[in-house]
Structure 1
Amino acid sequence: MRIAEVTSPRAERARRHERALWWVRWFGITLGTYQVTNATPVAGIHTPRSSEWIALAAVGLLVINNLIVGGVLWRKPSDRGILRLGALVFAIDIAALWTITWAYNFNRFDQTWVVLLVLCLE
């Protein structure tokens, strides 16, 4: 991935952070795909088949998100462009996390919402 040159120090920091998050997101996509496709059945709980497809769609949303980041960082973004990119990517990341959490929250005693709260607060 080639990153374009940015002149201001603030934009340079933002570019480095987005690039680091780009790699973190690819790790999350790989791990999420593995976990969704290799789920272990829990005794006494019926997992709806739609949960897997909904979660895979949300992981696909993260793939699209990463492609957007890669495409924008490939060009020479301005300071304002990097700020817009950060806001857009953050919104898409949160939407994907909410979707995956919602897909697997079919048990009334489940604690996945706590995980969602912690992830969003980070």
Structure 2
Amino acid sequence: MLGWLRERLGGDREPELLTGSPGLVVVVEAFDPAEADSAALARSPRWRPDRPAVLRHHLVLPPDQVERAASMLAQDGYELRPSDRGPGCWEAVRVQVLDALHCAQERSRMAGLTQRLGGDAPGWDALQPEPG
């Protein structure tokens, strides 16, 4: 009974996950185009499927296509931000609950988008708060 009351009052609620939340760690990554996204998720002991994650697609974009990509990605709730992976590298990030179907769909969308813009989408990773 007490647990129900605490839940109703919001006492056990986790803070909302944001793309810039502190304490995020990579829990799964998929950079091998031959590996299914379901396999990438299955091999990750740190991924918690019942929790939201920051899905981060790594993109390589020509400089003159960055604004166009950002506009297109924003329509689906993605934020495009610079990556520390090198020149022309960007990250498309958003918060969502991960599952194999949606990861595969989004990977395919990113590949199509970057191909149309003359770039590449080498892979994705996902971040969740460090358990603790």
State the TM bucket, normalised to the shorter chain: 0.3 to 0.5
Identify, as 1 or 2, the structure richer in helix.
1
Q: What TM-score do the two structures reach when normalised by structure 2?
A: 0.31
Structure (1/2) with the larger strand percentage: 2
Compute the TM-score of the two structures, normalised by the length of structure 1.
0.32
